[in-house]
Structure 1
């Protein structure tokens, strides 16, 4: 009668090289891919890749450059052709760049909103938050990348228009701009425009809807002036003056030493106003981002 022989005990197979020794961060497994602790630089690289690869960036910034340069140079040419030395006597030649930047601000607002709100529309925000669970880091990276892009483009276009206008109107009676006026008409206005776009980005993060956030920001840009025009009664005189003085178009004009009103913000006041408003909205956007699901 045959007897059944039990299987002989086998020695355990050697663990592959990629498995971990006891005591590691993940006992029993170590990834063959090097583990790198992520930081803000990775989030900045991700946001830079996104903002430079989407078509909306190319179109909005392209239209921005066309409006600022085209309208700025056209305004300078018209003034040069239709004004004499007495009309332009003592006039700041850089002030005519205001018209192009006022329309160009709509492009900056649009791009700022799309930087955040479009990700909620497409669902890309889920991938973003999965890759970078730190929501503070995501919001900071988006803000830094957008602010840098908006500032550089505004500085390049406004500086080019300012130089061409100054040379175009030289000898027409317009005064030579001072160093401070040059700085405000290039760097100052660029900081203001970048902060205005950053404010739009934060509103897009709060609203999470591109069309709605763009509508709100265009209303912020134009509504105070429109409302002021219809406040013709004497009882609303102070309200009308306040809306006019603190409207965004009037604040833009302050950087060209050509304020649309005699009172209200002056010097660098518009920059501090938009900076304080943006900081307050940033805090609110961050609080909502942490408390809401994506």
Structure 2
């Protein structure tokens, strides 16, 4: 009858004592999750290509519009108004990127590795939201600022209301970044890239299309007018000092409405994350 072999004692330890690793073990925190998510989001090709397309749309279309306009155009609107035309298309890029930040891991199965390395799921999801929002907001603000500066340089613009374009940079970037965060939250709940992107396209496009049909009926006209006022294109237009629909100016109500919807979706994402298995 053989007896199990005893593990050799580590040098410098007493017989029977438990071995302690010399490598220091530190408790994990949100900073580690942020570093991990930043490494993931900047090292995949989808992030680079999506953001490059976004910048090309905002800056490229913006410069083209600025070149075709004159100084008198900006008597009542900010210099950044050419960026609006690119943002109307570029917002789809940020929505798609927000969805892919989380659904790509579910699609490849790497989310199991992520949650094994970081069992605190809420910390991982919070890091995804923070890293994505910071990246989307920074890229959006820089792109809009470049368009504003280029517009002022291309056109000899006299001093006037057009110079006060800082608010359009901050609020316009915030709006499209919140749309991307909403896409990330929807992606976390659906866990499917195509389904989440389709759902978000519906959120953006349906309110812009449906009013044309709803306003035909007197009974549904009020709903159509509300959807027309709060859809994404009109909200962005209002934040840039103009509006495609003669509603409330400034765009603050539309921005607050999107913020409320995004917070509800984020809360739902955290709730479902803890209740469902991977």
Question: Which TM-score applies when normalising by structure 2?
Answer: 0.90
Residue matched to 2:151: 165
1:118 to 99, 104, 121: 104
How far apart are the structure 2 equivalents of 1:20 and 1:132? 34
Q: CA deviation at 1:15?
A: 2.7
Task: Give matches, 1:138-177, under 5 Å.
Answer: 138-171=124-157, 175-177=160-162
Q: Is the 8 A contact 2:54 2:90 kept in 1?
A: yes
2:3 corresponding residue in structure 1 = none
Conserved 8 A contact 1:225-1:247: yes
**Contact 1:245 1:251 (8 Å CA) reproduced:** yes
Q: Does 2:32 match 1:42? A: yes
Asked whether the 8 Å contact 1:91–1:175 carries over to 2, the reply is no
3-state SS in 1 of match to 2:228: helix
Is the aligned partner of 1:207 residue 2:190? yes
Separation of aligned partners in 2, 1:20 and 1:46: 39
**What is the number of equivalent residue pairs in this alignment?**
272
Deviation at 1:187, TM superposition (A): 1.5
Any unmatched runs of 5+ in structure 1? 1-11
**Distance (whole Å) between structure 2 residues aligned to residue 20 and residue 280 of structure 1:** 57
Please report how far the alpha carbon of residue 277 of structure 1 lies from its aligned counterpart in structure 2 after TM superposition.
1.4
State whether residues 90 and 174 of structure 1, in contact with CA within 8 Å, keep that contact through their aligned partners in structure 2. Answer: no
**Structure with the higher fraction of residues in helix conformation:** 2
Q: How does 1:230-241 map to 2 (within 5 A)?
A: 230-231=213-214, 232-241=216-225
2:264 pairs with 1:280: yes
Distance 2:131 2:217 in 1: 46
Q: Distance in 1 between matches of 2:132 and 2:78?
A: 31
SS class of match (1:177):
helix
Equivalent in the alignment of 1:107: 93
Q: What CA distance in whole angstroms lies between the structure 2 residues aligned with 1:265 and 1:114?
A: 34
CA distance in 1, matches of 2:114, 2:64: 43
CA distance in structure 2 between the partners assigned to 1:163 and 1:13 by the alignment: 70
Once the two structures are superposed, the pairs formed by residues 72-87 of structure 1 within 5 Å of their partners are 72-80=62-70, 85=72
Check 1:41–1:88 CA distance in 2 against 1; reply closer, same or farther (3 A cut). closer
Q: CA RMSD in A?
A: 2.4
The question of whether the paired residues in 2 share the 8 Å contact of 1:113 and 1:213 is answered with yes
User: Higher mean Cα deviation, 232-241 or 131-140?
Assistant: 232-241
Offset at residue 262 of structure 1 (A): 2.2
**Greater C-alpha radius of gyration:** 1
State how far apart, in whole Å, the 2-side matches of 1:40 and 1:21 are. 40
Shift of the alpha carbon at 1:126? 0.3
Per-residue displacement from partner, 1:30-66 (whole Å, max 9, x unpaired)?
2343211111111011101100110100110010010
Return closer, same or farther for 1:265/1:215 CA change in 2, 3 Å cut-off. farther
Task: Map residues 237-252 of structure 1 onto 2, 5 A cutoff.
Answer: 237-252=221-236
CA 1:105/1:132 → structure 2, altered by over 3 Å: closer, same or farther? same
Using a 3 Å threshold, how does the CA distance of structure 1 residues 256 and 149 change in structure 2: closer, same or farther? same
SS across alignment from 1:236: helix
Deviation at 1:18, TM superposition (A): 8.2
Any gaps of 5 or more consecutive residues in structure 2?
1-5
Q: Is residue 58–residue 87 contact of structure 2 (8 Å, CA) maintained in 1? A: yes
